[in-house]
Homo-oligomer: A and B are copies of this chain.
């Protein structure tokens, strides 16, 4: 693999900011959209930051994303609200929705926003980090286009819904940011390109057997939900809950062309612990759990067990110090946009 060049975070942000302005985003919105893209790459989630910019840009140009559309509250019912994203930029809509769920949680102890008619939110973890860094617990998820067969089916009928949970902790939030498929097709393509097997079974081959061969899974398009039937069921209920509570579209209604994938439904939940516990009490429980994970016997003595989000803080620090790794082609494309 060719080493990726590194650029200072501020340069990455500045280039993305110029690009957002060039795409028609304005003022604070251009700044926030650029910051979310830049921070995603800074945190090591390379698939969902800068490398997503070409697709984001194409979807603005083909009309799937309306850069000037702002989300609006269509129904308020106490601690839960329904919002319409009006097909604006998915990361701005999701950021606003989690922000509003956090306000509702500060007021009611717990708060939720169901968001319809939005767009790909890029890195779901961004909204989990947002809540946790403000001392709140959160949970959020999005549906996606149909790209995984439900358990028992051969043809794709469920998404690989990203699912995020986050926990506030003074010495570093715990943030889980997973998709409900074992591997994305992007990840599978990466293994195929490098001529590697997947580390665990990732789908079915043409004979209907589970396989670690990425090319075989690319051929069948039968990738696996996490936990087989369990993740398939989880994906279905997350889709139902997001679509029903937001009054928006379900997976089977979303366009199958990734460049036209618009109209997703999402759900954002925030929980405030402030009336329940002090930060010190919460930290004591969280630190105790993490200490117990460290005490388990590691498979590889050189690799102690990590908690979700731990690697993010390490990569963030490293990338701020050394510069953020960028894909040379995408970086040049970004510079050319502006």
CA distance A94 to B141 in the complex (A): 26
Among B111, B146, B157, B275, which residue has its beta carbon within 8 angstroms of that of A77?
B275
- Measured between beta carbons, the chain B residues less than 8 angstroms from A250 are 285, 288-289, 292
Given contacts A233-B178, A308-B236, whether A296 and B149 have CB atoms under 8 Å apart is yes
Q: Is A315 an interface residue (CB 8 A)?
A: no
Q: Is the CB of B154 within 8 A of A298?
A: yes
A224 (CB) vs chain B CBs: closest residue: B227
**A147-176 vs B: 1/0 string, CB under 8 Å?**
001111111111000000111000000101
- Measured between beta carbons, the chain B residues less than 8 angstroms from A176 are 233-234, 236-237
- Measured between beta carbons, the chain B residues less than 8 angstroms from A240 are 167, 174, 285-286, 289
Q: Is A130 an interface residue (CB 8 A)?
A: no
Q: Is A330 an interface residue (CB 8 A)?
A: no
**A10-46 vs B: 1/0 string, CB under 8 Å?**
0000000000000000000000000000000000000
Q: Is the CB of A157 within 8 A of B75?
A: no
- Measured between beta carbons, the chain B residues less than 8 angstroms from A299 are 152-154, 208
The 10 closest A-B pairs by CB, nearest first: A226-B227, A252-B292, A77-B275, A80-B109, A153-B296, A78-B109, A157-B296, A233-B308, A77-B109, A78-B108
- Measured between beta carbons, the chain B residues less than 8 angstroms from A234 are 165, 176, 178
Q: Is A230 an interface residue (CB 8 A)?
A: yes
Give the copy number: 2
CA distance A79 to B107 in the complex (A): 9
CA distance A176 to B155 in the complex (A): 22
Q: Is the CB of B155 within 8 A of A296?
A: yes
Among B109, B174, B305, which residue has its beta carbon within 8 angstroms of that of A237?
B174
Given contacts A82-B276, A110-B78, whether A237 and B165 have CB atoms under 8 Å apart is yes
Q: Is A210 an interface residue (CB 8 A)?
A: yes
Q: Is A297 an interface residue (CB 8 A)?
A: yes
